[in-house]
Amino acid sequence: PPPPPPPQTNDISSCLLSNGVSNFSLPSSPSYTPLLDSSIRNLRFELPGVGKPAAVILPASKRDLRRAVLCARGASLAIRVRSGGHSYEGLSYTTENRVPFAVIDLANLNRVRVDPGSATAWAESGATLGEVYRAVGLSSRNLALSAGSCATIGVGGHAAGGGFGLLSRKHGLAADNVLDAVLIDPSGNTLTRETMDDDVFWAIRGGGGGSWGVVYAWKLRLVPVPDNITVFSVGRTGPVELIAGLMHRWQYVGPSLPDEFYLSTYIPTRSSNGNLSMSFTGQVLGPKHLAMSVLNQTFPELGLAESELSEVSWLESAVKFAGLSSVADLTSRQIGVGQYAKRKSDYVQAPISMQGTIKILQRMSTGPQGSIQLDPYGGAMARIGSAATPFPHRAGYLYSIQYAVSWNASDLDRAEEHIGWLRSFYGFMAPFVSKNPRGAYVNYLDLDLGTNDWANATGGASSKSVARAASWGERYFFTNFDRLVRAKSKVDPENVFNNAQSIPPLRYDR
């Protein structure tokens, strides 16, 4: 059936205008579609059948942001907050069951203020990681932010769900380095760490975006880095047995290297001439000779050559790992770059046997275009307590797996087939990964794990909503889920900020 037109809501535009918020776009405006699509990274959610918002609002200040929240509520629109738009399931710009909604897009709230003296930065949530990295790296060669590698991710959604990157084995997640935050609550109040409930300040640092209010800005701890660090990206190609040997051995190396080392691996599904390929991404907080001596001793099978390594500043490393070519590119929003994709995640607690590794790679080589990415934990990741923040995958977790399939516009009619393959591969992986519960990473959001049913959640359904959400919430957060429900009940008892996998409040149907 043809998609229904986006709802026209005059209320919201008159409310915004009368409150001095002028930068917004309604479906009738020529700017609406380019603006809505501007940061959509998963093109599945750009397709015409996906429900569109009644308005896209671009606040220019904290005041505008508060008013946008109140006007959206006043117009009975659900609120979707978007920072970088990288949600794997499009939750920052879609709703379930065609509930009318407004997108509050923070793209213009992207100021970053670095204080090298105290090694901290305030970043507005709409700043991309690239914008933050550039500001930090230009302020001092010896300061960095511990966060993910894609430069167009929004710091708003990223720190809200954790934020793992090349410095995490040394310094933890982005969320572990949040020192303060400015949160706009459902009533439009401005809360900071000092005025926020402790459970709420804990929850916003890893409990997932979209549940608590709008984080207007984060205060981030910056971490020390040497003048030069060693980086490399190397590929290896060969028959299944050779690649399996490297993958099998990596499991013992990646998670147990010194904290200064990061070594992840990426394996595409496609084989050519019966050969598989595999790439390794490495970063060492030290000189080449240190990297060479440690890696050749712990991982001689990789056969790393000194010519494959380079020494660069941390800022240059951020450029490299974002796949960019210059520091200036870090602030490019790369509009229009997206993929039709589906991703899922897992955690591994015990190394997979060589035989198991071969089976996994054989299975992958039958798949559509896709990949697995293995990110090493250990180091600081294992030393931070599993209840220190909502993110629970700490001691005892060797590495995460991210599964992905992607396809092109010319292949849209095969989308379900590709997603189906990924789901069956995920099923096949069950014996090899964490269990009871099978862990997942909330920043790698996966609606296959379950969804809220807000449409039917009124009239005494509160404990049911919580029980339902526990089925995926405990996979993202383990027992931290209970504290998240407590935090939600305090900061948003009316469930104003909700989405398909948001944390439900206990007293929702009071």
Footprint on this chain of ligand FDA (rule: CB under 6 A): 41, 80-88, 91-92, 106, 125, 148-150, 153-154, 156-158, 160-165, 209-210, 214-215, 443, 499
Cβ(29)–Cβ(40) below 8 Å: no
Q: Which is nearer to ligand FDA, 13 or 87 (CB)?
A: 87
CB 447 to ligand FDA: min, Å: 12
Q: How far is the CB of 100 from ligand FDA (least distance, A)?
A: 17
The closest alpha carbon to 267, from 401, 166, 376, 153, belongs to 401
**Which of residues 106 and 203 has its CB atom nearest to ligand FDA in the complex?**
106
| Smallest separation (angstroms) from ligand FDA to the CB of 186 | 12
Closer residue to ligand FDA (CB): 303 or 336: 336
Strand partners, 230: 284, 311
Nearer to ligand FDA, 288 or 343 (CB): 343
Our CB check for ligand FDA shows the closer of 128 and 230 to be 128
335: which 2 tokens?
């509009």
Evaluate the CA torsion angle 137, 143, 144, 145 in order and state its sign.
Answer: negative
Nearest distance in Å: CB 94, ligand FDA: 10
Rounded to the nearest 10°, the torsion over CA 437, 443, 444, 449 is 40
Number of neighbouring beta carbons within 10 Å of residue 138: 12
**Min CB(159)–ligand FDA separation in Å:** 8
Q: For residues 433 and 345, is the Cβ–Cβ distance under 8 A?
A: no
> Rounded to the nearest whole angstrom, what is the least distance from the CB of residue 87 to ligand FDA in the complex?
3
Of residues 287 and 493, the one with the C-beta less far from ligand FDA: 493
* Residue closer to ligand FDA, measured from CB, 26 or 151: 151
The CA distance from 151 to 157, in Å, is 13
**Residues 209, 319, 136, 231, Cα dihedral to 10°:** 100
Tell me how far, at minimum, the Cβ of 119 lies from ligand FDA, in Å. Answer: 22
Smallest separation (angstroms) from ligand FDA to the CB of 406: 11
User: What is the CA 454 to chain-centroid distance, rounded?
Assistant: 24
Residue 240: CB minimum distance to ligand FDA, A = 28
Which residue's CB comes closest to ligand FDA? 209
CA distance 188 to 2: 37
Dump the DSSP string for 276-290: EEEEEEEEESS-HHH
Pairing of strands 178-184, 214-221: antiparallel
Residue closer to ligand FDA by CB (options 87, 357) is 87
User: Is residue 466 a contact partner of residue 460, using CB atoms and an 8 Å limit?
Assistant: no
Tokens 């991309």 correspond to 128
Angle between helix 354-364 and helix 240-253 axes, rounded to 10 deg:
120
> Could you tell me the strand order of the sheet in which 55-57 lies?
24-25, 55-57, 101-105, 78-82
**Which H or E element spans position 179?**
strand 178-184
Nearer CB in complex with ligand FDA: 215/360: 215
The closest alpha carbon to 321, from 181, 501, 164, 496, belongs to 164
- Min separation Cβ 157 and ligand FDA, Å: 2
Q: Which is nearer to ligand FDA, 66 or 82 (CB)?
A: 82
Cα–Cα–Cα angle for 361, 432, 428, rounded to 5 degrees:
60
Nearest to 235 by CA among 192, 282, 191, 189: 282
Alpha carbon separation from 235 to 269, 280, 423 (Å, rounded) = 14, 6, 27
> What is the nearest approach in angstroms of ligand FDA to the Cβ of residue 303?
27
CA dist 80 and 99 (Å) reads: 11
For residue 361, what is the enclosing H or E element?
A: helix 354-364
**Which residue, 8 or 332, is less far from ligand FDA as judged by CB?**
332
User: In the bound complex, what is the minimum distance in angstroms from residue 477's beta carbon to ligand FDA?
Assistant: 15
Q: What is the distance between the alpha carbons of residues 293 and 308, in angstroms, rounded to a whole number?
A: 14
Give the residue with the Cβ less far from ligand FDA, 165 or 282: 165
